[in-house]
Amino acid sequence: MNWWERLCNNAEGTDADCPGAERPDRVPTGEMNAAGELAEEIIAHETLFNRGRKELQALWDGRRNEAACDCGTALVELAHMLEWDFVEIPTVPADVEYHRPKMTGEHSWIDDEGHEVHLNPEAGHMQSER
């Protein structure tokens, strides 16, 4: 049974509820998100997928298309390697010019609206001071 049949049959219910449907061979698996560092270990190469500052740096360097392609490719590789049946597809960064911000520290900068943004490199999240 392939991933599509597994998802459709699982959603349709039992054989009695939906004539012609088969019981899935297993419960469909997948993830809504994956940590970038973990993804790199699994796919065995560097990626910009969920890598926070590395992805931002690519956008600031004018490499938006490369970042979008790399993230999509890494997600597909991850899904294949882990035999996931589904994944959540993240939004692609807008196709606009990304201005390199004024850096105020190693992990902080002033954004286009004048707000200071701090990146926590260990957790991978950002905080904006407004």
CA dihedral 60, 106, 49, 111 (to 10 degrees): -50
Instruction: Give pLDDT, residue 30.
Output: 81
Which of 22-36, 57-71, 92-106 is the least confident region? 22-36
| Sheet of 125-129, strand order | 102-105, 108-110, 116-120, 125-129
**Do 78 and 105 share a domain, yes or no?**
no
**Do 79 and 39 share a domain, yes or no?**
yes
**Do 107 and 79 share a domain, yes or no?**
no
Task: Provide the pLDDT confidence category of residue 7 given band limits of 50, 70 and 90.
Answer: low
**Do 18 and 57 share a domain, yes or no?**
no
**Do 2 and 52 share a domain, yes or no?**
no
Backbone angles phi, psi at 94, to 5 degrees: -55, 145
pLDDT in tens, 112-129: 888 898 888 777 666 776
Task: Provide the pLDDT confidence category of residue 26 given band limits of 50, 70 and 90.
Answer: confident
Burial of 97 (0-12, 13-18, 19+ CB in 10 A): exposed
**Do 20 and 36 share a domain, yes or no?**
no
Structural domain of 113: 99-130
Query: Three-class SS of residue 49?
Result: coil
**Do 36 and 82 share a domain, yes or no?**
yes
Burial of 32 (0-12, 13-18, 19+ CB in 10 A): exposed
**Do 58 and 11 share a domain, yes or no?**
no
pLDDT at 27 over 80: no
Query: Three-class SS of residue 19?
Result: coil
Alpha carbons 114 and 130: distance in angstroms, whole number: 9
Instruction: Give pLDDT, residue 22.
Output: 64
**Do 105 and 69 share a domain, yes or no?**
no
Into how many domains does the chain fold?
A: 3
Alpha carbons 75 and 43: distance in angstroms, whole number: 9
**Do 54 and 17 share a domain, yes or no?**
no
pLDDT in tens, 41-54: 999 999 999 888 89
pTM, two decimals, is 0.71
pLDDT in tens, 46-92: 999 988 889 989 999 999 999 999 999 999 999 999 989 888 888 88
Specify whether the CB–CB gap between 53 and 88 falls below 8 A: no
**Do 8 and 20 share a domain, yes or no?**
yes
